[in-house]
Chain A
């Protein structure tokens, strides 16, 4: 199973096993990672599962679609080029070892 590393706001890292085909957000919820609220449960409605993707992995991840891009305009913490909604990041073997940073605030 691919491993996803969550760099938390307090500076610690939490590594969780993720399921191929499922989202990084789900991996966070099932791995009990704090700081990813995912209020809408992953239907791209709330922008509370915001993460910053490690730049070296960005080329491996499909770009945000229009809906995600729009929602990212409304995230509570600063939007950066590497900002994504983790509910829209689908885990694949290529993402094994991916690190995402969890922002200070989601809402």
Chain B
């Protein structure tokens, strides 16, 4: 039944319907509403049997998840930003050991400077940790992706990260349909892993692997991750039939006949679609949902007719350029397609329809650089660079910048 509810609440209810048995939880903005809601359900007895553990750090959260999963429990947790980084070591450990943990990442910028608002720098920084990465376009997609995530994780014995834009989606109240319990039960069978800690059949998990076998183990992990590309469409189809809601690894909007195509991930896709509706048909949009493994063939096919691809991404690699753009560029290698990177929405700066139309205008007038930062305040930058040129002592730029950037609380948007 469709309800007007907060994204976090819908995700929590969905996760509860997936019947997790162990949920270690550590709070961090903006994921808190999710774990609080799950915790409340456990406390009230509506989600049972489930052990809700208030751990002392995100590192402990993922560690407890590893233990629980290895002992055969369906396991879930959620984090963001600094928390994701704090558990970085454990992320690699979970994927390396093939444990099907599902985790929501409420995308948030990484400090310094500390910033609680939405961008993709957190999950992008961990794109190579061996987890499957899914990015939700809106809250209805986030709901479906969580159900599919458990299925995908347990089938492939790989952990899955469902990335949901912090605040923008987690704290948005909109019409969302949480799948009914019987729909989820029909789609997600109970978790019975092949390998589990069991006194009746003792095994050793986590042995040390030397040079003679490490490469093969890692190759197999790569191979296994790639299998998600094949399984995702089938599992998504099955979910669509069961729930009436469709998600896909990649989605296309007005791409047919478009010479300029924007590629993006996450909630900004909605704003871009509205902007494209106000422009003529020569601009399209490809939204990536399955980012790891990277669906290179599908991307190449989707962008086949484009002369110019603009990757609009909410993260970047300092000193290098775009992150997603690099993957897209590699997927298009050999083709004459031009790829531009637009770094947008860092640290929660809104991506507006007007700005997107500006990018399109620049692209059409052939004045879009290969790397640009959307809505960059060049006056502030110029002022700071001039100031630095005069000053002769080293030191961070952040503090000085604030004086020029103005008081944020008084601004709209």
Partners in one complex: no
A residues near B, CB below 8 A? none
